[in-house]
Structure 1
Amino acid sequence: MGDILVVGSINMDIINKVERHPSVGETISALETETGPGGKGANQAVAASRMGSQVTLAGAVGTDSYGEELLALLNGENVNTERIMVKEGLTGLAFITVNGAGHNHIIVSPGANEKLSEADLLPLMPELNQAKALIVQNEIPWAVSAYIIKEARARNVKVLVNPAPVEHFPVTILPSIDLLIVNQHESEALTGLQAKDHVQAVQAAQRLLDLGANAVVLTLGEQGVIYLDRNGEYFREAFQVSAVDTTAAGDTFIGALASSIVKGKATQEAVDWACAAAAICVTRKGAIPSIPYWEEVRALIEEANAIERGQSVK
């Protein structure tokens, strides 16, 4: 059935490369435009699969050619697509603008994703019964996410939630989440506290614990990652790489983190592997095409460990 169940969005990305992001009211020309598979649910499912986990993805695509293309791609990534619904109308679209520094702006048109219902997930219970972890985001109707989180908790399945986009995410759900994964923007939206440096980030993560989260991972981009639970804190510096495109970096981190956890890695080691996966991701263009495989992540981890020990790297 699979070690990891992902319930979330499936999109086709339309990516514009620009020298800089436009100002309000300004029109600029793109350097190039391309399309590619994406959506937080699909990205995270592929990331976990490429890390060697058995993954089932539940979600929805439309009756257009994009839907057919995405299903074929996911099947090619060894992701179980039997629980992906086909809904009348358009597949979800993400309009992504990437500037010369590799930073992105994203607008999502939900399409079939917003048509997913709780009833659509009823056939999913056999997969949930066998899963070790559930990954949920916030690009499908929240009632659907809340339902599957409740069902996972009832079965003692580890629940990982990335509340992105963070709008309308209820903090009352936090006690039902085993591991909350947020970036600086999402953390500030949930707590009202800035997380621009390490001290602020720890304070924000602690506030999320106070609100009911059982454990928090707060990603700080090039500054690194903070993990905080009621037993203590772990900080991981970011791997030093030259960023080309940050699209799907967060999703790659989450998929790699979940995969590492279900394989039995300790939390600190799982965070290390997730950081390495995200570091590789940002050196490449696109969403799913940029997600690394387990062997690549292992090589980066081994290289970093060798450098730390003062050994030469061949």
Structure 2
Amino acid sequence: MELVVIGSSNVDLVITLPKIPAIGETVLGGKSAMIFGGKGANQAVTAIRSGGDVAFITKLGIDIFGENTKAHFLREGFPEKYILKDQHEATGIAQIFVSAKGENSIAVAPGANMHLLPADIQPFEAEIKKAKLVLAQLEIPIETVEYIAAFAARNQVKFILNPAPAQTLSDALLKNTWLLTPNETEAEILTGIKITGTDTAEKAAELLLQKGVQHVIITMGENGCLLHDRSGTVHYKAYREKAVDTTAAGDVFNGVLAVAITKGFSFANAIETASAAAAISVTRHGAQSSIPYQDEIEEYLASAKNT
């Protein structure tokens, strides 16, 4: 495997309602949906759909949600041996209420995700050593992320961390990170610098480099992204599309970016490809339902170059 993604898997249970229920209130709703999610899963599915050679290490519960999720992963083409099961914890669940006004209320039970521990990763160390890249996020225990980063660094495997959901990180973890990909909010939490434009984004990225990260890409939504490393700073514009749902756009960017790097793309070409994929995703509803395939990304890029 050229790319190993390690992270969370959730099932999102979505109910649309006239309004969000108050405490003690029952509101009869409209449509309901069960949607596959979790940042790790979103990025892994993106990576495999964009033509990556991908293993996804994740942990599910022994329940109907876990069985459905595993079947979904096998259909996507992931090797089964990396899809772990927890004997005691349920599959991660997010219960989402969406009002007619577009407001939402979300409750998350991480379940088996928070029991993906270093001991679960150790049986796959030989495969990880052979990988070109490891990609992780922060919906699994931080001790596991730190273990993975340190192992990758010892074995000269490039480690990408998408630091989401936002939280502070140890200097040791940052020193073992080859590429960090925060959004504006996450960069502010990591550095204390409020991102108001490319100037402040560069200052935040420089501070992260001083902490030991080799490369930083700060994503800024419709304002594109900023790449900063010891060779300099480059601001890349975003492809502009009318967004109907930005769910998982950041995950799509990270998944495609990782695959492009394993294929030997320069940062410029990898970011261009990842930005195109993210632009496609915001024109579609849902998380994994919005993720494009390789041929769609290639067609989009070809069309963009001809306009």
TM-score (norm 2): 0.91
Q: Distance in 2 between matches of 1:21 and 1:221?
A: 28
- Partner AA of 1:41 in structure 2: G
Q: CA deviation at 1:238?
A: 1.2
Q: 1:303 to 1:61 in 2, by over 3 A?
A: same
Q: What is residue 131 of structure 2 aligned with on the other side? A: 131
- Partner AA of 1:138 in structure 2: L
CA RMSD of superposed structures (Å): 2.6
**Is 1:72 equivalent to 2:64 in the alignment?**
no
Q: CA deviation at 1:215?
A: 0.6
Say how many residue pairs are matched.
306
Counterpart contact for 2:150–2:173, Cα < 8 Å: no
Once the two structures are superposed, what CA deviation does each residue of 1:23-54 show, in whole Å capped at 9, x if it has no partner?
99x99886643111111111111111011011
Counterpart contact for 1:58–1:81, Cα < 8 Å: no
- Partner AA of 2:64 in structure 1: S
Q: What is residue 54 of structure 2 aligned with on the other side? A: 55
Q: Distance in 2 between matches of 1:170 and 1:191?
A: 12
Q: What is residue 14 of structure 1 aligned with on the other side? A: 13
Q: Distance in 2 between matches of 1:172 and 1:128?
A: 20
Q: Distance in 1 between matches of 2:34 and 2:10?
A: 10
Q: 1:56 to 1:29 in 2, by over 3 A?
A: same
Q: Distance in 2 between matches of 1:141 and 1:86?
A: 16
Write out aligned runs for 1:295-306 (5 A).
295-306=295-306
Q: CA deviation at 1:80?
A: 2.0
Q: 1:8 to 1:209 in 2, by over 3 A?
A: same
Q: Distance in 2 between matches of 1:4 and 1:182?
A: 20
Once the two structures are superposed, what CA deviation does each residue of 1:183-208 show, in whole Å capped at 9, x if it has no partner?
01100101111113222222222222
Once the two structures are superposed, what CA deviation does each residue of 1:44-74 show, in whole Å capped at 9, x if it has no partner?
1111101101111112100110001111101
Q: Distance in 2 between matches of 1:226 and 1:28?
A: 44
Counterpart contact for 1:102–1:243, Cα < 8 Å: no
- Partner AA of 1:132 in structure 2: K
Paired residue secondary structure (1:6):
strand
Q: Distance in 2 between matches of 1:167 and 1:18?
A: 32
Q: What is residue 273 of structure 1 aligned with on the other side? A: 273
Q: 1:219 to 1:230 in 2, by over 3 A?
A: same
Q: Distance in 1 between matches of 2:102 and 2:242?
A: 9
Q: What is residue 34 of structure 2 aligned with on the other side? A: 35
Once the two structures are superposed, what CA deviation does each residue of 1:190-234 show, in whole Å capped at 9, x if it has no partner?
111111322222222222212221110101011111111111112
- Partner AA of 1:258 in structure 2: A
Q: What is residue 116 of structure 2 aligned with on the other side? A: 116
Q: CA deviation at 1:107?
A: 4.5
Q: Distance in 2 between matches of 1:20 and 1:219?
A: 32
Q: Distance in 2 between matches of 1:176 and 1:155?
A: 11
Q: Distance in 1 between matches of 2:105 and 2:35?
A: 16
- Partner AA of 2:34 in structure 1: T
Q: 1:12 to 1:153 in 2, by over 3 A?
A: same
Q: Distance in 2 between matches of 1:9 and 1:121?
A: 13
Unaligned runs of 5+ in 2: none
Q: 1:21 to 1:158 in 2, by over 3 A?
A: farther
Q: Distance in 2 between matches of 1:282 and 1:203?
A: 28
Paired residue secondary structure (1:258):
helix
Counterpart contact for 1:103–1:246, Cα < 8 Å: no
Paired residue secondary structure (2:56):
strand
Identical-residue share of aligned pairs (%): 39
Write out aligned runs for 1:181-260 (5 A).
181-260=181-260
Q: Distance in 2 between matches of 1:236 and 1:211?
A: 24
- Partner AA of 2:33 in structure 1: E
Runs of 4+ off more than 4 Å: 16-24, 26-31, 96-107
